[in-house]
Amino acid sequence: MNKDSQSEQAPEKKCCGRCGGACEAPRGKLHCFDWLADVPGGKAHSDLVEVQFKNTRKGFFRNTIGLDLAIGDMVAVEASPGHDIGQVTLTGQLVALQMKKAGVKQGTELKRVFRKAKPGDIDKYNEAKSRENDTMIRARKIAEDLHLNMKIGDVEYQGDGNKAIFYYIADERVDFRQLIKVLAETFKVRIEMKQIGARQEAGRIGGIGPCGRPLCCASWMTNFVSVGTAAARFQDISLNPQKLAGQCAKLKCCINFEVDTYVESVKRMPSKEIRLETADATYYHFKYDVFKREITYSTDKNIAANLVTIDADRAFEVIALNKRGEKPLSLMREGQEKPQDKKTYNDILGQDITRFDKKKKKKKPKGHGNGNSGNRQGAQEQQQPGKEQQPQKPQGENRRHDRQQRKDRNRRLKPGDKPDNTAPGEGRNARQDVAPAMSPSKRMLNQNGDNGN
């Protein structure tokens, strides 16, 4: 790889010509679009550079030697000790705004940009990055052996491989002095420990939220505030832990985004403590509908009973009448009918959710001398008037008689013949008339006569 190819770090894409290469650069976490890139002389007024390292870690540096840097360039920057390798994500006047947003005070001494990364720097950088996963797994085992109540969530090596940053999560204060000694002896690098929260860990890992967009903590959010269930109650959100929790197992940060809007909207509606008096009942507040600007009242203070929904203007009218000592006949305006409850469905298709369940089939009774076969046999006997009908035997006697007949037939079989287990009247000759069965004594006489012949 020569110097010319190394200087062109951006992917081979066509630039719009107005963004200074920002549209060509790969968009990582905490991406910021340089909307001042097309302003002439924007870089000349500021030597500040924003450089991004692994995941969400960023730093601000000064381009003191006047390098021609563009978004996406890999640079070697000053570190302690040695140097680090990162990617340029922003240049020019917007870097000062990013520093203000990150809380960097004016007059803070910033480190310098040494040079654009050389092929040797990139090779050493990639070699150090390839050890991060194995280092994290071994560090977790060491922390477990030392009985430390902490979780090592990520490991980041410096670009020159002389230093490693261990990001950990702990609910309590942890004395990891012995851990640092063991890690330094094991990996032969300088060790730095950084404690992060669950939301910061989710931001470093990244992912897609249930809304279908990248996680806020990974794409733009850097200031994490506490989120409580009171914000969900105020917005009438169902308190379902599985839906309210994000990938960090904490309440979603987006629950706080619209709370202020709800507070302002509720201030323009009647208070929850005000009761509405009518000629027939007293109504208590049940719930708000901020979007429709409607209020639902109930005749019972604790449960939903005789619910009536009116708009906020009508509620203010009733409150004004009650203050004058007057009671309207109904909460609804004159000539306005109470809306009928519409049929609702549990699924989005408006169909029964059990429509795919298999229905159990009823088992048909099998014919064993009773049931359908018995009826068919009785019908055949009725169709033959010339044949005398014999009195039917009880069901148990019929079964014993058929079993005895099969045994007698099997005794007369020759070697090699298959036994006949069919009942009388079944099989191939089921439709033929069945000869009356012989008694055992007559059968023995016939058999002896055959042997004599």
For residue 138, give both structure tokens.
Answer: 């071994």
Q: Is the pLDDT of residue 13 over 60?
A: no
Share of the chain above pLDDT 70, in %: 66
Q: What is the pLDDT of residue 418?
A: 54
Q: What is the pLDDT of residue 453?
A: 46
Rounded to the nearest 10 degrees, the angle between the axes of helix 132-145 and helix 177-187 is 140
Please state which of the ranges 21-25, 138-142, 160-164, 238-242 shows the lowest mean pLDDT. Answer: 21-25
Q: What is the pLDDT of residue 274?
A: 92
Band (432; pLDDT cuts 50, 70, 90): very low
Helix (H) and strand (E) counts in the chain? 14, 12
Classify residue 402 as exposed, middle or buried by CB count within 10 Å of its CB (0-12, 13-18, 19+): middle
Q: Is the pLDDT of residue 386 over 70?
A: no
Please state which of the ranges 47-61, 199-213, 317-331, 355-369 shows the lowest mean pLDDT. Answer: 355-369
Q: Are 276 and 299 in contact (CB under 8 A)?
A: no
Question: How far apart, in whole angstroms, are the C-alpha atoms of residue 344 and residue 352?
Answer: 11
Q: Is the pLDDT of residue 252 over 70?
A: yes
Which class would CATH give 131-202? alpha beta
Q: What is the pLDDT of residue 392?
A: 52
Q: What are the tens digits of pLDDT across the range 323-354?
A: 999 999 888 887 666 655 555 544 444 455 56
Q: Is the pLDDT of residue 412 over 80?
A: no
Domain borders along the chain are 3-117, 131-202, 225-264, 270-323
Q: Is the model more confident about 40 or about 329?
A: 329
Q: Are 88 and 116 in contact (CB under 8 A)?
A: no
Question: How far apart, in whole angstroms, are the C-alpha atoms of residue 283 and residue 332?
Answer: 12
Q: What are the tens digits of pLDDT across the range 93-125?
A: 889 888 888 888 888 899 999 999 999 999 999
Q: What are the tens digits of pLDDT across the range 372-384?
A: 544 555 444 444 5
Please state which of the ranges 114-123, 290-299, 423-432, 436-445 shows the lowest mean pLDDT. Answer: 423-432
Which residues, other chains included, contact 226 with Cβ-Cβ below 8 Å and sequence gap of 6+?
none
Q: What is the pLDDT of residue 9?
A: 46
Residue 127 — φ and ψ, nearest 5°?
Answer: -65, -40
Which residues, other chains included, contact 346 with Cβ-Cβ below 8 Å and sequence gap of 6+?
353
Q: What is the pLDDT of residue 449?
A: 53
Angle subtended at Cα 193 by Cα 190 and Cα 197, rounded to the nearest 5 degrees: 155
In the chain, the N- to C-terminal Cα span, in Å, equals 112
Mean pLDDT over 299-315 rounds to 90
Share of the chain above pLDDT 90, in %: 35
What is the identity of the amino acid at 167?
Y
For all residues of the chain together, what is the average pLDDT?
A: 78
Task: Give the helix/strand (H/E) hosting 180.
Answer: helix 177-187
Question: How far apart, in whole angstroms, are the C-alpha atoms of residue 130 and residue 157?
Answer: 9
pTM assigned to the model: 0.60
Q: Are 72 and 87 in contact (CB under 8 A)?
A: yes
Q: Is the pLDDT of residue 436 over 70?
A: no
For residue 196, give both structure tokens.
Answer: 């992060």
DSSP 148-165: ---EEEEEEE-TTSSEEE
Across the chain, which distance is largest between two alpha carbons, in Å? Answer: 134
Q: What is the pLDDT of residue 42?
A: 63
Q: What is the pLDDT of residue 355?
A: 56
